[in-house]
Amino acid sequence: MMMAGWLALGPATAQGNAQPEGGSQPLVFEGARLLPMAGEEIERGVLVIQGGKIIAVGAVGEVAVPAGAKRVDVSGRVIMPGVVDTHSHIGQVDGGDSSAPIQPEVRVLDSLNIRDARIQKARAGGITTVHVVPGSGHLLSGQTLYLKLRDGRATEDLLIRLPDGTVAGGIKMANGTNPRRDPPFPGTRAKAAALVRQEWVRAQEYRRKLEQAKEDPEKAPERDLALEALVEALEGRRLVHFHTHQFQDILTVLRLQKEFGFRLVLHHVSEAWKVAEEIAAARVPCSLIVLDSPGGKLEARDVSFRNGKALEDVGVSVAFHTDDPVTDSRLLIRSAALAVRAGMSRSKALAALTLEAAKILELENLVGSLEPGKDADFVVLSGDPLSVYSLVLQTWVEGKKVFDREDPQDRLYAEGGYGAGHDQPLSPDPWLAGEVY
């Protein structure tokens, strides 16, 4: 049964001034079962956050509570790190158009709608970090984005930035049946691979000219946005995220990676169980989708719930993703439960939602586990995350609550109903508040 107001954090200071969540006042969550992912589960734990960061994690009685902290009793609940979705289409994003099969210059950054209702539905599923990608109808459909699902009024408010200030993201590529269309798109698998190889060769030549121009600026080639993005991948500054399903297509991607040396994450890999040892030998991580109903594309007909176990058995790093709307973001945690049912270990399945997913996106220094110094991204659940009966009660990003099941609007996004598919209002929004006429 839901306890009304069980985690309502109202303003309270000695002077009566409001203290914002995630602000300077420490917040202490006491009594929940903690799943830190960086160590063993803690039956009755303490999580201390301040200024958007985790400052302490441990067992009740073993963690010093800071002076002036606001204490919250979460006994009977479960707290785990915020879920990391390694492949999603929330935000109504699009990529390349029909003019060419390879369009690396296209950016998700320029099409994201942060009012999309599916963003709040993702928060309702405990997702705090998400990799947003364009579709797979191209051999290369554009540049992707890694986002924090903070509250915000503009796309820039959700961006994750690298230490040098650049926007974090990768490149989305695909093979198999999706990009096979009428010319100029490829009509066969062999032609698809040939087109991709030729584009990587062009990028290598562009990089060679850029190197020469360092000594002689007169030799600088005309700026090419498409080739710039591919050079970033060749130099390891941008991960290549590759949509692929059938085992022969997986092997083609591994062959391309070996030839051109880009850093790679395999996505979907419905037939990974057929070539698990080859994937392991290439030391390439996999982002898996767990499909729980028949139908869909023919090339996924041999998808197996045993994919997670097969890859775990050979030491491949695994994450789970939604490919939302293929899997609803509110149900991503269920993917781990289905993988465990098929033989994957509980620890690896939970890590595939959190720490391993963060590692695959190279964000493990920020998110993925409950450790001091990391962002205060976490989920409060009513019970064990692998139980069908458990509910996401609250989702926190950088110490701020972004989903609360007790809030009627948030509950609508969690459960569905009229209005749950409408774009989200921005808060505070003077138009909706009737302050602008």
Task: Output the tens digit of pLDDT for each of the chain's 437 residues.
Answer: 333 333 333 322 233 333 345 568 999 999 999 999 999 999 999 999 999 999 999 999 999 999 999 999 999 999 999 999 999 999 999 999 999 999 999 999 999 999 999 999 999 999 999 999 999 999 999 999 999 999 999 999 999 999 889 999 999 999 999 999 999 999 999 999 999 999 999 999 999 999 999 888 888 999 999 999 999 999 999 999 999 999 999 999 999 999 999 999 999 999 999 999 999 999 999 999 998 776 678 889 899 999 999 999 999 999 999 999 999 999 999 999 999 999 999 999 999 999 999 999 999 999 999 999 999 999 999 999 999 999 999 999 999 999 999 999 999 999 999 989 988 876 555 555 454 43
Tokens of 153: 């009024």
Q: Report yes or no: 52 and 96 within 8 Å, Cβ to Cβ.
A: no
Cα 139 from Cα 195, distance rounded (Å):
8
Domains of the chain by range and CATH? 27-82+373-415 (2.30.40.10), 83-360 (3.20.20.140)
Q: What is the radius of gyration, based on Cα positions, of the chain? A: 23
Q: Report yes or no: 150 and 400 within 8 Å, Cβ to Cβ.
A: yes
pLDDT at 427: 57
Three-state DSSP class for 207?
helix
Residue among 331, 377, 410, 424 at smallest CA distance from 2? 410
CA angle 119, 125, 126 (to 5 degrees): 95
Three-state DSSP class for 367?
coil
Three-state DSSP class for 226?
helix
pLDDT at 14: 30
Helix, strand, coil shares of the chain as percentages rounded to 5? 30, 20, 50
User: For the whole model, what pTM was predicted?
Assistant: 0.91
What lies within 8 Å, CB to CB, of 317 at 6+ separation is 285, 286, 356, 359, 360
